[in-house]
Amino acid sequence: MTGSFEPNPIAPPAPPAAPSKSSFARIVGVLFNPVETFADIARRPDILIPLLVVVVISILSSIVVMPRVDFESAIREQMADSGGDMSADDQERMVRFGTAMAKAFGYAAPLLNIIFFAIIAGVLLLTFRLLGGEGTYKQALSVTIYAWFPLLIQGILGLIILLAKGSVPAEQLPNLVMSNFGFLVNMKENPVAFAVLSSLDLFTIWTLALYIIGFAFVARVSRAKAAAIVLTFWILIVAFKVGAAAMGAMAKARK
């Protein structure tokens, strides 16, 4: 009996994996090509370079912004609205203390950003994991930092506007770029409406979209599910802002 022997065909080699983007390429990519970039970040998360970029820009911004913001006038106005019975010396001490505290928080912004990123990454990752998602803390933290860059751009634009103006009252800082609908109402006269309208911000919406895309890759869930989780947290934050504004308005009306 004769027969022929045919060797098993050799499988072609798997195509090499695409090289990972550099950190700076990722910064550009999350702004203009977020789907491909966040897929790459989920595969090989990185933290150090994007965090350093955020911290350095925050430090430079604080150095430039803090001397140009008039905190003193805002504190004096708040004290006048409160109607407290204080001596002139006590009022001056309170103004100096309040101004110093406001500037201290401003200069501490880079450190506060790091703490904020760590908390947000942990809370979102825990929520996704509880709801059936996957992911590691390093992936979550990397996505959290990269998705923040639209708000960093907003801060840079605000810095440019501030330099052009020279100085601004503290109450103008939240709407310096005018990228939201807060300019439609007076913050002092309609604090609740301002809290709602200022939350509808172009850069905030951009950032939320990046969080949704990024965490969909990290947690391996649909974008619809990622959107439901991320937007729920955002709505809670807006509700807290609106509630605080309403309480402040009611307290002021009683006086």
User: Would you kindly state where each structural domain of the chain is located, as residue ranges?
Assistant: 35-254
Residue 143: partners with Cβ closer than 8 Å, 6 or more residues away: 38, 41, 42, 45, 121, 211, 214, 215, 217, 218
Q: Can you give 47-83 as a three-state secondary structure string? A: CHHHHHHHHHHHHHHHHHHHHHEEHHHHHHHHHHHHC
CA 110 to CA 58: how far, in whole Å? Answer: 5
Using CA atoms, how far residue 189 sits from 75, 84, 92, 244, 245, in Å, is: 17, 20, 26, 15, 11
| Longest alpha-carbon distance in the chain | 117
Ranges in the chain, pLDDT < 70: 1-18, 80-86, 251, 253-255
CA 124 to CA 233: how far, in whole Å? Answer: 9
The pLDDT tens digits of the residues spanning 201-215 come to 999 999 999 999 999
**pLDDT score for 13:** 52
**pLDDT score for 5:** 47
Task: Say what the pTM is.
Answer: 0.85
Number of residues assigned to the chain: 255
The pLDDT tens digits of the residues spanning 170-221 come to 777 777 888 988 888 888 888 889 889 999 999 999 999 999 999 999 999 9
CA 116 to CA 141: how far, in whole Å? Answer: 10
Closest CA to 210 of 171, 152, 159, 126: 152
